[in-house]
A and B are shown apart, each in its own frame.
Chain A
Amino acid sequence: MWLPDLVNSDCILIEGSNFAEAHPVGFRFVMEAKERGATIIHVDPRFTRTSAVANIYAPMRSGTDIAFLGGIINYVLSNERYFKEYVAAYTNASYLVSESFKDTEDLDGLFSGYNPDALVYDFSTWTWERDENKRIKTDPTMQHERCVLSLLRRHYERYTAEMVERVCGTPRDQFLTIAETVAKNSGRERTTAFAYALGWTQHSDGVQFIRAGAVLQMLLGNMGRPGGGIMALRGHADIQGATDIATLYDLLPGYLAMPSANRDEQTLAAYLKSTTKPTGWWANTPKYVISLLKAFYGNAATKENDYCFEYLPQLIGDHSQLPTTFAMKDGTVKGYFVIGQNPGASGQNAEMTRAALESLEWFVNIDSYDNETVSFWRREGANPSEIATEVFFLPAATVLEKDGTMTQTSRVLQGHDKAVEPAGDSKSDAYYLNWLVKRLKELYAGSTDPKDRPILDMTWNYDSDDPHEREKGEPSVLKVLQEINGYHTATGEQVVAFADLKDDGSTASGGWIYTGVCPDKQTNHARSRDNSGPYTAPNWGWAWPANRRTLYNRASADPDGNPWSERKKYVWWDANAKKWTGVDVPDFPATKAPNTPGNPDAGGMDFHSGADPFIMMLEGKAQIFVPGGALKDAPIPAHYEPQQSVVQNELYKQQSSPVFGRYDRTDNPYNKPIDERFPYVLTSYRITEMSGIMTRYVPWLAELQPRAFCEIDPQLAVEKGIKNGDWVTLSTALGEIEVRALVSGRMRPLRLGKGRRVHTIGVPYNFGNMVALARGDSVGTLIPISLDPNVSIHESKSLTCNIRPGRRPAHHRDAADEPVPSNERNPLGQPLGRWASTAQGTGQRQEGEKK
């Protein structure tokens, strides 16, 4: 979804997100929607700043979203509230699933094909039933007992409102109100949007949480519609850009796959065969891969040498950040670059991360500030004389001190200009990488060793045309963006659209999804700031792909190409001009008529009919059932308890996800699945005032939230003898931290099934205890590493812990940390006067005391 499109929503369900807290500026669109009459629903374990302005708030136990959403799916299906024509035409609801497939209802929480020794699934039964011509069998009436829709009904049949109350702790009536509100705001005339963030992603089955939301939105017919769909709220200003241009270990830019040594992908031909989808838009994969290789290796990449494909590294396992940190501790990984991140404070198992750095031979940190990661060698308990790591700390320019682009949560690229020169010796990240690569090329120049060819053959032509910048060693980030856009290798002219990219080496592109942002050497659409035109603001920045705001917007029209309703028209077929038109760039072949039949014997886009909006999918249909192991843990989401929970799974014998990434090591101990030592739910989250290390040094932000704290409910506080403001110690099997207690009625104990009452303790993750003005222990010290099997995201939202009053042992006390004595508080318990404490910590000063 495109964020501003929320103003067109009739209902916005915010779940797995604290939207107002984490996206205060983006939240303006929710407020606008509310003023236009939309119902804003917030479902969350805590009553937060988002809940305060929502129309409906409902509490839900952390980690039980699949039960909650499954309950709404069941409501929608059993009350026949799904958008029938949409579901029949645009999803795979009518497809027949293979007889050999067994659901969680058959196997008490497992799907067919589970291998309990290897802790993985064999996906061969998660497949379609096909006829003698290998075509997928369907039942257009969606009645057949093995069609996806029937499977869905059966799968979620036990997810009743009563079940939701027992599992999630959400009162039955509130749940039904929400289900009804969502259902009645969907269909032809009305659309509902879901907004989610890390509350859905950071679980050991996080991808399935999102899938549950997606399945529901497919049933309600909200995908690809104005004001409808799923708004994935990306956090950092450029996190979308980071995943687009591939900082994830298993991706190449533009969401291409990194070759794997564990698959038959060792040659270009094998890799292309393995990763190219036969039908749908991804059939174009070879064009993007070869253009990328041309961008990487330039003239050295030729058809004869497979475009230098063999220079690319091959994956041998999970090389995401957390497992790689274990590898450092174990001595396998010798060196580390940490650029603009502080895993030693804000990461999971933070203490292990800091300890792991001691095993490195060398470590480079590029940051604007001293932080807990680079200062690992002088942390509490470390002995610097025993640490051999060579540490390089390079000063980084901040965002205002360098040119660049950011790609934000709506996929919109916006350029930013350098406003001031970097302070002192600070340089941009691009400067350091530019300098490093040039030095490496010099170092290996003249080498005849084949293993050095990647360094020597890599194209690197980013010197600025501005002599002033060139003298300073600053590369031209515009040239980088132009290369990402792509160019014709013969002429050097920019490629105008990704449809023009070729697989014959005549085009180069560093990221095909961005093709079009710099269509010629003079133009950089990311810098455009023209907000005239339709509300989709096509001239403000540039959205990938192809400046399109809403993806799959063909689905906003019916199979005949007419809008589902006048009120919700977005993209439609113009029968006179014989092309698709509307307020956005159509996400469909421009002149493909809606009644074009699909060709079952063709490949690529011709396989799809003119009524198949989901062009990236094999069959052009939205996937309610995901076959074949594209997702490693389930074809349809099922509720599992978090890996560390407080109750048994009420729905199945299988307690938690059977395939999540475990790391059973002495430096990564888990709480037991239900652990009497740790009877409270622990969750972690951000607060508006703080982000990472760069906010902790800003005095105006630090005074707003200066110290780490936890939020607990009044009943738990009374039970444990904790008063508001007291020091408390939180503990898990992994570690202990001390924070201040904020006792608040916004945290409510939940009543689950069997009369079980559950308390939740919430801890912001934004603090570190070594440096900066805003300080405190890191919640990461409590959280062991357990990962989702699809994308290796960590579980940090639903854990368990214990709490006790008092400080943990061995702490360096800062006078500014002492609580305010009672005689210096007013009758409301608020501290008197202004605090004159400084970073040196000078303690309190009473009101009226003048110098």
Chain B
Amino acid sequence: MATGFFTDTTLCIGCKACEVACKQWNELPSDGFQFTGDSYDNTSELSGTTWRHVAFIEQMSLDEGGLHDRWLMSSDVCKHCTNAGCMEACPTGAIIRNEFDSVFIQPDVCNGCGYCVTSCPFGVVDLIEKFDPDGSRYNLASLVEARLDEDKTALQGHGGVAGKCTLCYDRQKIGFEPACAKACPTESIQFGDVDVLRERARKRVETLVGRGVAGAQLYGVDDVGGGVGPLNAFFLLTDRPETYNLPAQPVLPSTRQPAGYSSAAIAALGLAIAGWMIFRNE
């Protein structure tokens, strides 16, 4: 059964419980402490060690009609694409689709080449910096040495591998919902059978449009185009995708291959003809 996320941003209150629950469950370190000045967003983006990220977009305006204030909040995550760029680029076969139809990086197979990083149309996956359990990381487990046993999570044992949302593969295997969905207090993040969620999302956007919610639209329920296909983690937004730092026209890199190879072939043919024409009477 394919499982995934329906993230309804109209229910998001920007509490970031999802971001923290994900880090806690997966024992990921913080990404450092920097005040960005970017609304209430100090973690900026998904990374090898941030697998849920809450975006804040302030839209404050005032005209003759009065105040039009909106503060959009959205919990971003790996899209678990039907046709995943990261998976196609992976040379070792580390990235697979598991029995839940999630795109999963096997950390013990990954060699840290980083090809997946450039192949993700959404900028999700990234390499994890190698970290040192004895010093500079502030994983909660390190505050109590007794809890840091030899059987570390693969991330603690390896460095330099690629990291992204696993759709809580380990939790799903024992019948639990992902940590972020469980933590979300307003059920903005909804987890379950992807077909059921798609139906729910379509009904929901209809309801919201009916209520006059400006800009209510789905993203990834259907094919997003560019060869990516529908997303197993899709969204209900209240503005264009670009507003949320999501690509309006994502492109699966491998779809460029036919054009690329053809151009190369034509160029080769063209050069061959040109060469024959130039050198035949030598």
Contact = CB atoms under 8 A, between A and B. Distances in A.
Contact of B14 (A49, A724, A740, A837): A49
Interface string A802-821: 00000000000000100010
A788 to B, nearest CB: 30
Contacts, number: 155
Contacts of A851: 129-130
Interface centre among B35, B144, B187 (most CB of A within 10 A): B35
A331 B229 CA distance: 73
Interface in A46-89: 47, 49-53, 57, 59
Contacts of A706: 33-35, 42
B30 interface: yes
B69 interface: yes
Contact of B33 (A31, A51, A830, A837): A837
Contacts of A816: 32-34
A18 B38 CA distance: 21
A58 B260 CA distance: 56
A20 B13 contact: yes
Interface in B15-55: 15-17, 19-20, 23-24, 29-40, 42-44, 47, 49
A704 B16 contact: yes
B239 to A, nearest CB: 13
Nearest to A421: B146
Contact of B15 (A20, A59, A709): A20
B60 interface: yes
Interface in A813-851: 816, 820, 829-831, 834-840, 842, 844, 851
Interface string A3-36: 0000000000000000011001101100100000
A703 B38 contact: no
A315 to B, nearest CB: 41
Contacts of A830: 36, 38, 44
B23 A837 contact: no
Given A831-B34, A837-B32, A700 B20 contact: yes
Contacts of B186: 24, 27-28, 31
Contact of B69 (A57, A703, A743, A834): A57
B19 A838 contact: no
Contact of A829 (B23, B38, B67, B71): B38
A773 to B, nearest CB: 6
Given A829-B37, A834-B129, A837-B34, A703 B42 contact: yes
B30 to A, nearest CB: 4
A243 interface: no
B32 A744 contact: no
Interface stretch (B95-103, B135-143, B215-223): B135-143
A704 B39 contact: no
A840 B136 contact: yes
A842 B136 CA distance: 10
A21 B32 CA distance: 23
A805 to B, nearest CB: 14
Contact of A24 (B13, B29, B72): B13
Contacts of A839: 138
A386 to B, nearest CB: 34
A47 B30 contact: no
Contacts of B34: 706, 816, 820, 831, 835, 837, 844
A110 interface: no
Contacts of B139: 699
B154 to A, nearest CB: 19
A745 interface: yes
A120 interface: no
Nearest to A744: B58
A687 B39 CA distance: 13
A774 interface: yes
Interface in B176-234: 185-187
A52 B129 contact: no
B66 interface: yes
Interface centre among A21, A27, A53 (most CB of B within 10 A): A53
Nearest to A59: B67
B19 A700 contact: yes
A492 interface: no
A744 B39 contact: yes
A764 B187 CA distance: 27
Contacts of B143: 423
A816 B33 CA distance: 7
B11 interface: yes
Interface string B162-187: 00000000000000000000000111
Given A28-B186, A688-B16, A724-B37, A703 B71 contact: no
A773 B138 contact: yes
A704 B138 contact: no
B46 to A, nearest CB: 11
B152 interface: no
Interface string B82-98: 00000000000000000
A829 B39 CA distance: 12
B16 A835 contact: no
Contacts of B137: 838
Contacts of A701: 20
The interface residues of chain B, by DSSP majority, are classed as loop
Interface residues of B, number: 51
A173 B66 CA distance: 10
B73 interface: yes
B256 interface: no
Contacts of A837: 32-34
Contacts of A57: 67, 69
Contact of A699 (B11, B17, B29, B40): B29
Nearest to B130: A851
A835 B33 contact: yes
Given A746-B71, A774-B33, A688 B14 contact: yes
A140 interface: no
A839 B11 CA distance: 35
A292 to B, nearest CB: 38
A724 B38 CA distance: 9
A25 to B, nearest CB: 4
A53 B13 contact: yes
B242 to A, nearest CB: 12
A703 B30 contact: yes
Contacts of B69: 47, 51, 57, 745-746
Nearest to B135: A838
A702 interface: yes
A823 to B, nearest CB: 16
A705 interface: yes
A31 B11 contact: yes
A689 interface: yes
Contacts of B144: 423
Nearest to B47: A834
Contacts of A705: 40, 42
B13 A52 contact: yes
Contacts of B24: 700
A192 B11 CA distance: 22
Given A25-B185, A689-B16, 18 more contacts: A24-B13, A28-B185, A31-B186, A53-B11, A699-B29, A700-B30, A704-B16, A707-B35, A709-B35, A725-B36, A746-B71, A829-B38, A831-B36, A834-B32, A835-B33, A836-B32, A838-B32, A838-B135
Interface of B: 10-11, 13-17, 19-20, 23-24, 29-40, 42-44, 47, 49, 58, 60-61, 66-67, 69-73, 129-130, 135-140, 143-144, 185-187
The 8 closest A-B pairs by CB, nearest first: A745-B60, A835-B32, A725-B37, A699-B30, A706-B33, A699-B138, A24-B15, A52-B71
Interface of A: 20-21, 24-25, 27-28, 31, 47, 49-53, 57, 59, 171, 173-174, 423, 687-689, 698-707, 709, 724-725, 740-746, 748, 773-774, 816, 820, 829-831, 834-840, 842, 844, 851
16 contacts: A25-B185, A28-B187, A31-B13, A47-B69, A57-B67, A173-B66, A174-B66, A687-B40, A699-B30, A699-B139, A700-B23, A709-B35, A745-B69, A746-B60, A836-B129, A851-B129
